[in-house]
Amino acid sequence: MKFYSTNKKSPLVDLEEAVMNGLAPDGGLYMPETIPKLTNDFFNRAGLLSFQDIAFEVGKNFFKSMIPENTLKSMVQESFNFDVPIVKLDKNLYVLELFHGPTCAFKDFAARFMARLFGFFAGRSQKEITILVATSGDTGSAVAHGFLNVGGVKVIILYPSGKVSPLQEKQLTGMGENITALEIQGTFDDCQTLVKQAFLDKELRGKINLASANSINIARLLPQSFYYVYLCAQLNDKNLPMVVSVPSGNFGNLTAGIIAKKMGAPISRFVASTNSNDVVPQYLKTGDFQPKPSVSTISNAMDVGNPSNFARMLELYADDVEKMRADIRGANFSDVATRDAISNVFNKYNYIMDPHGAVAYLGLLNFVNKFKGYTGVFVETAHPAKFFEEVEKVIKEPVPMPNRLKDYLMREKRATLLHNEFQELKSFLLQ
């Protein structure tokens, strides 16, 4: 399979080049030249398959040209060695829980698979790779854990100072070994801009083998499509169409869902649920995309004012807002509404949501109150214990904390403080 740039000014490349480069030379994002279709036979038997089996079957469509099947199967088994529960809260109301991996966030799916993919390619090239990644919270910790001590790979994580939760900061700064954390004086958008500038700097690229683990890298998105296919296999109610509400910041998770839908996953509609950083819901209302500086919220992983993956969304809908509206409804919610949702769901269902899942729940509620007759699913992307300070203030009870998170709290923060200036980052990388 070949991959093209969304800017259409770079040549087609194979999987290895798309993954290792992250960003195309023309500044665009890589997209698969074609999106393969899953057969009706696959969906007829998918309900009997494990998540790992489904991931392997779907993954073969994208990776088989470059990765031997036995190697791919091992990557899948090692990457996804945790549960993917679908929790029923009420009639036709479900939660897709994606926080059962080692760092308690949905980013574990892509980060663990990518680590093995990079390890495979690095082993073939015999060259050291430097992975540069910007994070608004959970990406950094998942990448740090996934790539820890992977041979031939160094990881440098940029995160916005004071704009991640204390636990998230401990997770991404407490690893050591081949993981370096850079605390940037600015916002996530600043971190993301610095990463993009690094990939477009010819001098830097000439001296360092840079690769990206952000959702600008197509290898981040493709593994995330697996759990949308799995969701449809598990909730295959042919009598009711399915709507899935996705908490959205940089829009990689939603883009992966759209790819799954275009592969044949029977998802009728999506809700792009955001906090106050609502540039995509506004686009869906007006047809005009206007990036703006991000604002801080309690759902901090979604604090993105210029989401990279919007370019991929436009590609998937041929720059046609009406086509996008037919599949996606936008919704945005304040911190006050988010806290109210956490409280209401806890009191009604005895279920604890994190702030990002709460935004997704509100988006789903907004949809099903207007459009009847759907099976509704909202996506929980992080364990509520990752935001225990905020959640406990709302529910007035302690949030149970998994032992794997308690361990991070005991670690020492190790990070280098930098200004949000590219020359400062470039000098650091060239040292």
List of residues 6+ apart from 79 with CB closer than 8 A:
55, 109, 112, 113, 115, 116, 223
Q: How far is CA 78 from the centre of its chain?
A: 19
Q: Strand order in 375-380's β-sheet?
A: 86-90, 93-97, 375-380, 242-247, 269-274, 328-332
The catalytic position among 9, 37, 107, 323 is 107
The angle that helices 51-63 and 69-79 make with each other, rounded to 10 degrees, is: 140
What length is written for the chain? 431
Among 172, 168, 259, residue whose Cα is nearest residue 219: 259
- The conformation of residue 105, written as its DSSP 8-state character, comes to B
Handedness of CA 116, 112, 184, 174 (dihedral sign): negative
Known catalytic residue at 107: yes
List of residues 6+ apart from 376 with CB closer than 8 A:
92, 93, 94, 242, 243, 245, 364, 367, 368
List of residues 6+ apart from 239 with CB closer than 8 A:
none
Paired residues of 131 in beta bridges: 155, 211
Report the alpha-carbon distance of residue 153 to residue 204 in Å, rounded: 17
As annotated, the active-site residues are 107
